[in-house]
Structure 1
Amino acid sequence: MNAPVLLTHHRTLLALCLSLALAGIGHAPPAAAATQVVTPDPRVPPASGTPCVVQLMSDQPFSGEGEYTTDNHFTYMPPPACRPPWAKVVLQVDLSSSRHTVVNDIGISLGGIRLFHQAGPRYDAPASWHAERDLTDYSRLLTVPHTGSYWTLKDPENIDPGGQTSAFTGSARLLFYPPTTQTPAPRVPDTVVRLDGSTPVRLPHNIVRAYLDVENAQPWWYLCMPDEILGEHPNLIDVFAPGDQLKNSIFPHETACGGGGFREIRVDVDGTPAGVAPVFPLLPADPSVNYLRNALNVPTPTLQMLNILPYRVDLSPFSGEFNAAGVHLVSVPGVLLLYLDRNRTFVSGGITMNTLNGVPGEPIYTSTLIRNAQTKQLQGTIRTRQSRQFEIRGFVNTSGGRINSSVRQSSTFDNAQTMDLRGPHQSLGVPVNKLYEEVVSLQSTTDRTSRRTVGTTLLGTDVEHVSYPLAYTYHMATTSQDIGDGWTIALRNGTVTTTQRWLVDTDHYRPSQGHYVTHLGESFIGSRTHAYAFWDAGLRNPSTDTHWQSVAEHRFTDNFGSCFQASVTAQNGAVASTARGTGCPGGHNQVRWFAHPDGSPDSLGWWH
């Protein structure tokens, strides 16, 4: 029979290295001109006028070994020609890679506060890409000098096929727009505080509103299974299980991730539950690091891969608690944004209701997994469900009267993981076919309503609906055989397909100005089937992609006339077509300067 690519658990190092190279994780091809990565992501809309530009770094290598590399520093100085307040502050980042490298993520920080983060894109050929972020809400951070850093996170257990140092080079700059009549300076948070999740911080005593930006995009968790199910069905732990535990190493690990297929971020303030953030199901470049490399990010990356955006938790009901004497501990890393009473140095207050306190919100797992003892087939579905509702109310006695703040939030979560495993965990002397397939159908929605009042007067209402639906199929077919002092696995074909969406609808109401309504719809649909190389009559037949295509789209509208649409269609690893402005008036994109078409948190600071 044809002898497919072999991945061998064997004492012979040479045979292992050969098999890994054939599997497609050897050295990258010679360097060539970088290809510009095409995405449908919108640019941050500029304010009017000419901005002052502060260059943070220019064509700097993201070098270093092992863990976070924080030895790459730069010095930031505020622009002398553009003094605060600013109408807008925009971060622009340009990155490029010269070869394939194994990097989990890339970031830029200033004064210990993360300004930019992306999920380590992996390209075999040289590539370059651009990203932007609206940092207007972080203006207070930028009014004084700081030391900044740029870094990558590398996994020391991974082999970097291109070498032992990072192949990424980057430039970054800040654009400061002076206020004009058309684009005035917005009200921004008065204090920006770095939180590491474990160190108490000392805060001002005149806080009237508080928000926490948390990074909520994480890969792989939606493929994980409860620990008790992994214990009951150990063959779920396999060399070909999807996930980042499959290292680019000489001896690939048998693995699958535990902890269950549900994640959320609960925020505690001084030990009291204060808020919940949903976790975005980030799709990494490699569904299986060793065997389906670059299946989803070439040529168009998945949602948020190149620019991970934070989720903003409203902690305003806890403003009075923050004002109490002493230090305060917020349980998760993030950026705390505080609005202060500028007419008082101390503002009293407290919590009047908290139905989140004492409610664990643990998910419910059910399983229909059944293993056939004769056929060695394991089939069934692991279902993970969670639903919660809570309301938190608090008050602060400000110079303008007692302000009451409330946050009502409800969420639903449903993750169905259908498993189909065929063949023995390890063969017994004869070649046998094996299959590892996991199909995920995930629905995650969060609805939040925040209100602020003084007596019977409504100061504002903010309504947000967020949804993260995901359909995902991972399929790996192999042949396994015991060879006496080890065993071989022949790769035959692998498939990954996904439909990923990100939906955000908001309705912000201010009595003096009415409603501001926005809609964001972002999607990535991709599929790739890879047939592996094999030897036939002494000749090598190359690997082939029998089905490889993707479509990425971004759409944003608001009731002030903003409309943005862009899409990228790819076929066989190359961009086939692009579209911009489809469905917008006149077929053209037009976005108001204050809008957040990328879906980043919006403080509505332009609405005083």
Structure 2
Amino acid sequence: MSIETARQRLTQATFPVAAFALLAPCIAAASRQEAIERAGPPVPTPHTQPCEVQLFSNAPFDTPATGFVFTPPANCPGPWARVVLSVDLSGSRDARTRGIALALDDVTLFVGPTPDTAQPAQWHVERDLTDYSVLFKQPGNGALTALRAFRDTGGSSSHVTGSATLRFYPPRAGNPAPRVPDAVFPAYANQLGGPPGVKDLASLPHNIERAYLDVTANAETFWYNCITPAMAQAHPTLISPVALGLSQRGIYPAEQGCLPHSYSDVLVTVDGTPAGVAPVFPWLPTHFSINSGPRRSPFWNVVDTPTDSAQSLDFVPYRVDITPFAAILNEAGTHQVALNMTAHSDINEQWFLAPSTANLLVYLDPGKTRLAGAVTFNSLPAGLPVPAVTDGLVQDGNLLDGRVGTRLDRNFEIRGYLDTSRGRVESSVTQQSSFQNVRQFHVKDDPADDNDQPYYREDLWLQSTTQSTSRRTRNGTLLSEDQLQASYPLELHYIGAGRLTDWYSEEGTLDVDLFGGSVNVHQQRRLDVTHSRHGLSPYTTQVREEFEGNHRVDPDSDADSNWHAAHTYVFTDNRGSCYQKAVLTRNGLLDDTATGMGCPNDTNHVRWYAHPDGSADGLSWQRP
């Protein structure tokens, strides 16, 4: 099954409302798949026998964190050609867990959301941790943390549970151990129920020659659906109980999305000075418009078993090159590396999200114990950016129509130098980003009318593109150049239809329940990367990930089409790697999968050193 075939079959899987009544009995009789079939690739590994260390088995991700002890693999010392974290997880919506995190000695190893399924589901994730090898050379203490949906965490005894193993692959001829960072430091992490935690880095070495920040930054769910406070005040019809979002219904006020606007990125600072920017992926949560009490939402699952959407179960860190600031980090004293995000907020503060984290990875100069240098140019402005928002909404009685646009272009360059044991090395980072989010609204809502049936339609088109280039030169000779283009298009079409119920809220007002509507999503993740090193041919990679899904519920008959989805993943490089997988679901059940289509001999083959998940690649496997 090719990607084109998956799209065609998904289109054929959309059904007119008249067919829902015929489908509903069949859907109800079907048995749900329990295992989530993922389209994303596993971590490729060398053909050597790995040493394994089990971190924990069937342990709960809980709050407060559950601990574990790590012991390095016996008779298997580093360096290793590859280190892989393998995690098998299980849980359901009864766990009320929205995100999980796994850390070792405060260094975050994995962060991911959880699926929102009625029955327990199982899913598998992997992470290439070769760049974190220095952590695994000595014993350490780990933590499993769950981030729950509600501040009141005592309402459920169910847990997300998991088992995790680290696999260490010894090097051999043809599979050499790469040069990995000499040290890894936890730089930043959200604290559950509290403010972000910026760690004081008081013991940094003074001979850092390269520095990178692995950023896992997750803005609030549906951040791309947020509105400005002024817009909420000018158009109160937008604040609808059937709007797209995660707001509580019933005794809680209904909020549309969040505040303050529909743009998000991450400003990285070093000792308070702007040092880089990471884009935020517009991920789709595993639930739309959740409500409380005995009533229900027809859109419990946007990512229903047995498939997932892009990064809905596994956040891939975005690596920010802060090498121009290495001279600052080498200075004596305490340093801080912080993430500064747009403060999207749910007024009711009901929802926890997976944590924003950052790990600092540094390479040291073996020939000197202290490196001097400076930041010579920095055009990145301080403070969070303010996007341009256009309001084309027109209110006509209880009807609201029009278009809202959000746009921001962000360009900067940072340069610095270090006097290393091999001479003066100059580094630069240039980045251009373009963000545009257009939303079309058609809303009907008149709470004063006892016969009111709220209707909310929103069409969203989002384009987010980031281009970055990192260069290092010595005496005019190019040492390295890394070019990345990341593009995150999202198209979303939502209709929410409600009607008054005979259930009264604590305020004594009639509640409005979401009884019908539809959602159609088209999500993409596109990565193009080129790595160049002095004396070596360039290495290029390409990721093309795509998710399409639709779900309809008839507001009159309650007939439910369940989710239809097609998730496709393609990875290629210029060294012969090729990975392709497509997963198609109908009516919430696995319909078909295909792997290798379009690859040579219709077979997946990925070189052991590749990073098909789109994570950072320093090309150090080519020059150990």
Aligned partner of 1:17 in structure 2 is: none
Classify 1:48/1:490 alpha carbon distance in 2 versus 1 (closer, same or farther; 3 Å): closer
**Contact 2:569 2:582 survives alignment (8 Å):** yes
Aligned match of 2:474 in 454, 474, 485? Answer: 454
Q: Which moved more, 1:518-527 or 1:214-223?
A: 214-223
Q: Structure 1: where are the runs of 5+ without partners?
A: 1-28, 535-540
Aligned partner of 2:545 in structure 1 is: 522
Alignment of 1:606 with 2:621, yes or no, is yes
CA distance in 2, matches of 1:547, 1:169: 27
CA distance in 2, matches of 1:58, 1:488: 44
Question: Alignment identity in percent?
Answer: 40
Aligned partner of 1:165 in structure 2 is: 157
Alignment of 1:241 with 2:243, yes or no, is yes
CA distance in 2, matches of 1:482, 1:175: 57
Aligned partner of 1:115 in structure 2 is: 109
Aligned partner of 2:186 in structure 1 is: 194
Aligned partner of 2:566 in structure 1 is: 551
Q: 1:362 Cα shift?
A: 2.3
CA distance in 2, matches of 1:78, 1:133: 18
CA distance in 2, matches of 1:123, 1:189: 39
**Contact 2:387 2:406 survives alignment (8 Å):** yes
Q: 1:170 Cα shift?
A: 0.8
AA of the residue aligned to 2:595: R
Alignment of 1:581 with 2:586, yes or no, is no
Alignment of 1:470 with 2:490, yes or no, is yes
Aligned partner of 1:204 in structure 2 is: 205
User: Structure 1, residues 245-304: CA drift from partner, whole Å, max 9, x if none?
Assistant: 337xx6343112111000010011111111001110110011211222113333311111
Q: 1:198 Cα shift?
A: 2.3
Aligned partner of 1:214 in structure 2 is: 215
CA distance in 2, matches of 1:491, 1:456: 64
Q: 1:508 Cα shift?
A: 0.6
Q: 1:151 Cα shift?
A: 1.9
Alignment of 1:82 with 2:76, yes or no, is yes
User: Structure 1, residues 459-500: CA drift from partner, whole Å, max 9, x if none?
Assistant: 011110000000012211122379995214354412111000
CA distance in 2, matches of 1:557, 1:228: 46
Aligned partner of 2:255 in structure 1 is: 255
**Contact 2:35 2:305 survives alignment (8 Å):** no
Aligned partner of 1:184 in structure 2 is: 176
Aligned partner of 2:23 in structure 1 is: none
CA distance in 2, matches of 1:336, 1:491: 45
CA distance in 2, matches of 1:33, 1:82: 43
CA distance in 2, matches of 1:159, 1:174: 30
**Contact 2:284 2:302 survives alignment (8 Å):** no
CA distance in 2, matches of 1:272, 1:592: 39
AA of the residue aligned to 2:241: V
Q: 1:351 Cα shift?
A: 0.7
Aligned match of 2:64 in 46, 65, 69? Answer: 69
Q: 1:141 Cα shift?
A: 1.2
Aligned partner of 1:313 in structure 2 is: 320
Classify 1:491/1:284 alpha carbon distance in 2 versus 1 (closer, same or farther; 3 Å): closer
**Contact 2:400 2:443 survives alignment (8 Å):** yes
Aligned match of 2:135 in 138, 141, 144? Answer: 141
**Contact 1:34 1:128 survives alignment (8 Å):** no
Aligned partner of 1:395 in structure 2 is: 417
Classify 1:93/1:499 alpha carbon distance in 2 versus 1 (closer, same or farther; 3 Å): same
AA of the residue aligned to 2:278: A
Structure-to-structure mapping, 1:13-162, within 5 angstroms: 35-63=34-62, 68-70=63-65, 72-97=66-91, 100-157=94-151
TM-score (normalised: structure 1): 0.88
Aligned partner of 2:344 in structure 1 is: none
CA distance in 2, matches of 1:413, 1:262: 8
User: Structure 1, residues 358-385: CA drift from partner, whole Å, max 9, x if none?
Assistant: 5864211111011112xx1011111000
User: Structure 1, residues 71-99: CA drift from partner, whole Å, max 9, x if none?
Assistant: x1110011122101111000000011266
Q: 1:244 Cα shift?
A: 2.5
Aligned partner of 1:351 in structure 2 is: 375
Alignment of 1:300 with 2:300, yes or no, is no
AA of the residue aligned to 2:552: T
Q: 1:200 Cα shift?
A: 2.3
Structure-to-structure mapping, 1:257-276, within 5 angstroms: 257-276=258-277
Aligned partner of 1:12 in structure 2 is: none
User: Structure 1, residues 437-461: CA drift from partner, whole Å, max 9, x if none?
Assistant: 2221100000001110001111011
Aligned partner of 1:23 in structure 2 is: none
Q: 1:33 Cα shift?
A: 9.5
Classify the secondary structure of the residue corresponding to 2:198. coil
Aligned partner of 2:434 in structure 1 is: 412
User: Structure 1, residues 28-82: CA drift from partner, whole Å, max 9, x if none?
Assistant: x9xx99711101111100122100000001112334xxxx431x11100111221
Classify the secondary structure of the residue corresponding to 1:514. coil
User: Structure 1, residues 406-448: CA drift from partner, whole Å, max 9, x if none?
Assistant: 0010000000121211131x1333x122201222110000000
Alignment of 1:505 with 2:528, yes or no, is yes
Aligned partner of 1:495 in structure 2 is: 518
Once superposed, what is the RMSD of the aligned Cα atoms?
2.1
Classify 1:461/1:148 alpha carbon distance in 2 versus 1 (closer, same or farther; 3 Å): same
Choose between structure 1 and 2 for higher RCO, CA contacts under 8 A separated by at least 6 residues: 2
AA of the residue aligned to 1:42: P
TM-score (normalised: structure 2): 0.86
AA of the residue aligned to 2:522: T
Classify 1:99/1:475 alpha carbon distance in 2 versus 1 (closer, same or farther; 3 Å): closer
**Contact 1:62 1:167 survives alignment (8 Å):** yes
**Contact 1:422 1:434 survives alignment (8 Å):** yes
CA distance in 2, matches of 1:62, 1:463: 37
Classify the secondary structure of the residue corresponding to 2:242. coil
CA distance in 1, matches of 2:182, 2:302: 44
Alignment of 1:326 with 2:339, yes or no, is no
Q: How many residues align?
A: 557
User: Structure 1, residues 539-595: CA drift from partner, whole Å, max 9, x if none?
Assistant: xx6x42236311001100000000000010110000111010000000000000000
User: Structure 1, residues 507-542: CA drift from partner, whole Å, max 9, x if none?
Assistant: 11112211000000101100001235x7xxxxxx6x
**Contact 1:53 1:174 survives alignment (8 Å):** yes
CA distance in 1, matches of 2:64, 2:522: 34
Classify 1:389/1:545 alpha carbon distance in 2 versus 1 (closer, same or farther; 3 Å): same
AA of the residue aligned to 1:530: V
Aligned match of 2:393 in 363, 369, 378? Answer: 369
Q: Which moved more, 1:432-441 or 1:411-420?
A: 432-441
Aligned partner of 1:339 in structure 2 is: 363
CA distance in 1, matches of 2:372, 2:495: 58
CA distance in 1, matches of 2:563, 2:156: 31
**Contact 1:393 1:405 survives alignment (8 Å):** yes
